[in-house]
Amino acid sequence: MTKTNVNSPMLDDNLFLPVPAVMLTELVSEGTDLGQAFPEILRSIEGDQDRLGLAKKQLRAEYADWQLRQTPALPGMDGEPRGPVVASPLSGGRPRMSAETVLTFLIVSHHFQSVYTQEGAERLV
């Protein structure tokens, strides 16, 4: 097998091919620059992610408590003591999307009006 070396300044930051100069590339670049210039935007996104995560955790805790209340203890066995449903702070779990990725997605989604429709998805391709 022959090894081919390509020395091109366009390939310095990209492993495979240069990123084409298209409108989507410009949008993503501007979104990245915006996040770096105004870090409070990224902090706000992270705060929103924390609030949403805590709200979902609270719902899961309430549902688990409801399931315990629906399942009676077996005769002769003590049931688990039930305390108030209070979700603990966020800890380990699935890794969340980075704030930069969320910002980029919001910018692209807003630009294309929607990325959930067939037309919006085709524009991304």
pTM > 0.85: yes or no: no
Whether pLDDT at 42 is above 90: yes
- 8 φψ region: left (φ > 0), alpha (ψ -120 to 50), beta (else): beta
What is the pLDDT averaged over residues 15-27?
74
The chain-wide mean pLDDT, for the chain, equals: 78
pLDDT band at 37 (very low <50, low <70, confident <90, very high): very high
Give the three-state DSSP class for 73: coil
Report the alpha-carbon distance of residue 125 to residue 73 in Å, rounded: 55
Instruction: Mention every residue, 6+ apart, whose C-beta is less than 8 A from residue 31.
Output: 100, 103, 104, 107, 108
Per-residue pLDDT reduced to its tens digit, 69-103: 887 777 777 656 555 555 567 777 778 889 999 99
Residue 30 has pLDDT above 60, yes or no: yes
**pLDDT at res. 7:** 58
Task: For residues 17-30, give the mean pLDDT.
Answer: 78
pLDDT of residue 45: 95
- CA–CA separation, 90 and 59 (whole Å): 13
Looking at residue 83, its pLDDT comes to 58
